[in-house]
Amino acid sequence: MHRDVVERFGGRIDVVVNNAAHMEPYTPFLESDPDVYWRTWEVNVHGLINMARSFLPTQLSSRENHNALCTMINVASSGALSVRTGSSSYRTSKLAVVRWTETLQLEHEDRGLLTFSVNPGAIKTKITAGTPEPIRNRLPDRPDIAGDTIVWLAAERREWLGGRYVSCPWDMEELMSRKKEIVEGDKLKLKMGF
| Residues involved in catalysis | 90, 94
At residue 91, φ and ψ (nearest 5 deg) are -65, -45
